[in-house]
């Protein structure tokens, strides 16, 4: 995990970017993670509400993809109101969402026939203004499409989360293309928290902040979302234990 001191040059650049973008980054409400090490890297101290954010799994296929969905669900769980979840494949495991604080009674599921229809559903949900969050599972997200979603989110104040899912690995390169999203995250599974007795501890993730508008990229080793959708820094990582390096080597392998 990188821990950068506040740099006056970077702070000045952030202010310039904010002025160019209309000064909306700091002025909008945010949803903090409650983890100072993470919130400190985000302008305003959290995820901007009324904005689009992207989440993708790492390189371990469905396993990391499930972690990305859980991360997105944890964010949505900490908002108020119903959550619209848009998808083209009906393979979402509702009990897993409930485990991170998003019970079935809060979720409205929309299954679209293709990604064009899916984008329309996401945009309409964001424009509605009466939802806590809108989540959409997308393989591709162009600058034009992301800009439309970003503008819809800005108009209503609803947070939008685009989970990037690919049917084939060749589509994964699209995640590197620029979009209008305020932040872009990648989630990879790490070994679970060790227990003093036989059993499986709390899941851990390598959480990478790849892009943050007017912010800096960073990576964090965290404990997965709890029953209220909250992540946390493992105690050994927070204390600077060698376990951090072990987890990083595992992720690289």
Q: Which two tokens stand for residue 142?
A: 């162009």
Instruction: Return the higher-pLDDT residue of 212 and 17.
Output: 212
Give the percent of the chain with pLDDT over 70. Answer: 81
Asked whether residue 27 is assigned to any structural domain, the reply reads yes
DSSP string over the chain: ---PPP-HHHHHHHHHHHHHTTS-TTTS-EE--S-HHHHTTSTTSSEESSSEEEEEE-SSHHHHHHHHHHHHHHHHHTSSS-EEEEESS----HHHHHHTT--GGGEEEEE-SSHHHHHHHHHHHHHH---SEEEEEES---HHHHHHHHHHHHHHT-EEEEEE--SSGGGGGGGGS--S-SEEEEEEEEPPPP-SSSS----EEEEEEEEETTS--EEEEEEPP-TTS--B--HHHHTT-THHHHHHHHHH-
Asked whether residue 2 is assigned to any structural domain, the reply reads no
Per-residue pLDDT, 22: 45
Report how far residue 171's alpha carbon sits from residue 167's, in angstroms, rounded to the nearest whole number: 7
pLDDT tens per residue across span 220-231: 999 999 999 999
Asked whether residue 3 is assigned to any structural domain, the reply reads no
Where does the pLDDT of residue 122 fall: very low under 50, low under 70, confident under 90, or very high at 90 and above? Answer: very high
Asked whether residue 192 is assigned to any structural domain, the reply reads yes
Domain assignment of residue 96, given as a range: 8-252
Report how far residue 35's alpha carbon sits from residue 222's, in angstroms, rounded to the nearest whole number: 10
Report how far residue 26's alpha carbon sits from residue 51's, in angstroms, rounded to the nearest whole number: 12
Asked whether residue 1 is assigned to any structural domain, the reply reads no
Report how far residue 166's alpha carbon sits from residue 187's, in angstroms, rounded to the nearest whole number: 15
pLDDT tens per residue across span 145-204: 999 999 999 999 999 999 998 776 666 777 889 999 999 999 999 998 777 777 678 899
Between 26-30, 52-56, 163-167, the lowest mean confidence (pLDDT) is in 26-30
Report how far residue 106's alpha carbon sits from residue 79's, in angstroms, rounded to the nearest whole number: 11
Asked whether residue 172 is assigned to any structural domain, the reply reads yes
Where does the pLDDT of residue 3 fall: very low under 50, low under 70, confident under 90, or very high at 90 and above? Answer: very low
Q: Which two tokens stand for residue 223?
A: 């404990």
What's the total number of domains in the chain?
Answer: 1
Q: CA separation (Å) from 36 to 39, 41, 58, 125, 235? A: 5, 9, 24, 31, 14
Nearest Cα residue to 215 out of 11, 56, 35, 68: 11
Per-residue pLDDT, 114: 93
CATH of the domain at 16: 3.40.50.300
Per-residue pLDDT, 21: 53
Per-residue pLDDT, 241: 47
pLDDT tens per residue across span 61-108: 788 999 999 999 999 999 999 999 999 988 899 999 999 999 999 999
| Confidence check: pLDDT of 138 > 80 | yes
Asked whether residue 176 is assigned to any structural domain, the reply reads yes
Report how far residue 68's alpha carbon sits from residue 81's, in angstroms, rounded to the nearest whole number: 22
Does the pTM surpass 0.85? The reply is: no
Mean pLDDT of the chain: 86
Given a contact cutoff of 8 angstroms between Cβ atoms, the answer to whether 76 and 69 are in contact is no
Give the percent of the chain with pLDDT over 90. Answer: 66
Give Cβ neighbours of residue 164 (< 8 Å, ≥ 6 apart): 54, 55, 56, 68, 138, 139, 141, 174, 175
| Confidence check: pLDDT of 111 > 50 | yes
Per-residue pLDDT, 242: 41
Where does the pLDDT of residue 250 fall: very low under 50, low under 70, confident under 90, or very high at 90 and above? Answer: very low
């Amino acid at each position: 995990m990188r821990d950068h001191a506040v740099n006056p040059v970077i702070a000045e650049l952030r202010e310039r970017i904010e002025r160019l973008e209309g000064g909306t980054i700091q002025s909008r409400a945010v949803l903090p993670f409650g983890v100072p090490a993470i919130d400190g890297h985000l302008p305003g101290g959290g995820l901007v509400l009324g904005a689009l954010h992207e989440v993708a799994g790492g390189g371990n296929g469905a396993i990391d993809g499930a972690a990305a969905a859980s991360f997105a669900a944890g964010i949505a769980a900490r908002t108020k109101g119903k959550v619209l979840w848009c998808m083209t494949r009906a393979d979402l495991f509702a009990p897993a969402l409930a485990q991170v604080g998003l019970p079935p009674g809060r979720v409205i599921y929309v299954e679209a026939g293709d990604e064009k229809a899916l984008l329309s559903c996401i945009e309409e949900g964001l424009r509605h203004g009466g939802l806590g969050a809108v989540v959409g599972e997308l393989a591709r997200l162009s600058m034009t499409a992301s800009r439309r979603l970003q503008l819809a989110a800005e108009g209503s104040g609803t947070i939008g989360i685009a989970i990037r899912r690919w049917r084939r690995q060749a589509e994964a390169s699209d995640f590197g293309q620029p979009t209008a999203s305020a932040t872009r995250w990648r989630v990879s599974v790490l070994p679970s928290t060790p227990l003093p007795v036989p059993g499986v501890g709390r899941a851990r993730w390598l959480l990478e902040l790849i892009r943050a508008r007017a912010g800096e990229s960073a990576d964090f080793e965290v404990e997965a979302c709890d029953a209220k959708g909250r992540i946390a820094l493992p105690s050994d990582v927070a204390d600077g234990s060698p376990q951090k390096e072990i987890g990083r080597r595992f992720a690289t392998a």
